Structures are given as C-alpha cells and as structure tokens.
A = this chain, B = another copy of it.
Amino acid sequence: MGRVVFIGAGPGAADLITVRGARLLAQADVVLFDALTDPALRELAPQALWVDVGKRGFRHSAAQPAIDALLVRHAQQHALVVRLKGGDPGVFGRLEEELQALAAHAIACEIVPGVTAAIAAAAATQRPLTRRGHGRSVSLNTAMTAQGRLQAGRSADTDVYYMAGRQLAVLSRRLLAAGWPGDAPVCVVSRVGWPDQLATDHRVDSLAAAAIFHAGRPAVVTVGAGASPVPMAASVPAEDALKPTAQPGKPGRRKISA
C-alpha cells in the first residue's frame, strides 16, 4: 500500500511549483493531473506514469467519484502517487472529497501547498491583494456554485472570483446588487501564469466589456482595493515615475486598459 501526496502546481508556468513539490514529483510512480497544470511539469517526473483526469479548466472535468476511485486504486498498487492540481489543492480543488476517499481506505497522505491563482494574478499585475490601511482583507470566492448558479457578494476590501470568465456581464450585475460602487476597480486576468496571460482593467459597472478579451479562457476577477494599480507617491515628479506594471515585450505581461 502506497501513499498519496497532493501537490499544488501553482497556476500556469511550471516553475511556480514549490521546491518540495518538484522534489516529490521526481520520486512519483504515478501522477494524476488536471488539464490546468503545465505540461512542462512532466519533465520533473519522466519516470512516472502520467494519468490525465481533467479536461479543459472550466468545462466539465472527469467525474469526481471516478477520480477518487482511480486515486485509491493507484495508491493500492504503487508506493508514491502524486495528485497534481493547478494552484493550491485546498482552494477550490475538491480536496475534501479526495481526502475522504483515501481515509476510507486507510491510505496515508500529505499535502504540499501551492500558489493559488488569485495570488499569482496579483503578482503578475503587481497589484498587492492587501493594502495597508485601506485593503485589510481579501476573500477568495467561486463565482459558480455546485449547482451551476452564479453568485457574487461584497465580503472583503478585495474580493477575488474564480471561475467567473464565462459570465462577466452577470457578475457585474451581481456585484452592483451586492453594494459594490459602479466605479470600483476590477482587474481580470486570464490564463494566469501562462505565456499568453492577459490582464485587463475595468470598473464594476462596465465589467461586461471584459468578455471580448477573455472569452474561452479561465479567468480570475479581482474587485476592490487590490484591483487598482499601485498609486504613485504624490511627491514624485512625473518624469521619475515608472508605471510599476509596465514590462514591455515580456511574455505573459500583456496589459490592456478597457
């Protein structure tokens, strides 16, 4: 009987995995992976059997009970099974269900945390999720419920929505209904961490326009304090100021203001 290590691969680029995660991958006998993990990660575990258990990010993934059963079966046959998930396994990763399946068969496991998409999007756009004094809290939310309904509220100084890319117009209306001001800043980042990552700036009341940029791409939507660019200090002469998000020509840093 083997053990299972859940590893957060981080979003997109393979080098956002942790050193611990990379080391354990290199020892794996079997890797069960989702579609949102970078294929380049395979180079870290050429010795392993790689099993694809996901489809495209926000489309239907392999039925969860089938993944649970596969995980158990492989752990019964191999010493080290890695369950590789995009981002962090414990944030919108359905980790609870997989832990339950393993516990039911007395299979030992370990969790290696990862960089979740909200945090990677904030780093890529140089927009800190918390801001001293005016951005003291940040919430991570799924825009889609288990029943497929879109929900949105106003719970923190910065609210981040996962899996919202397909219904940005509805999200805009829900955010307004929840009390967000129409002019509150929104930053949409799709394909976070990938070479074709795209970030666009909006307001809550005009968020619907973001759809044309991000259609068909998994997106993270950040609303509120943490969505705005870092303001220049008032005392800085304009000629000294370099826009902190500007990294022209660098892949993965394309920036459009809409």
A interface residues, Cβ below 8 angstroms from B: 8, 10, 13-20, 22-23, 88-97, 99-116, 119-120, 122-124, 126-133, 136-142, 145-146, 151, 155-156, 226, 230-233, 235-236, 240-244, 247
Q: Which of A107, A142, A244 has the most CB of B within 10 A?
A: A244
Copies of this chain held together in the complex: 2
| Residues in B neighbouring A138, C-beta threshold 8 A | 91, 139-140
B16 touches A16 (CB 8 A): no
| Residues in B neighbouring A131, C-beta threshold 8 A | 96
A231 touches B139 (CB 8 A): no
Q: Which of A103, A107, A233 has the most CB of B within 10 A?
A: A103
Query: Smallest CB-CB separation from A138: which chain B residue?
Result: B140
Q: Which 6 A-B pairs have the closest CB atoms?
A: A113-B123, A139-B139, A90-B128, A111-B123, A15-B20, A95-B128
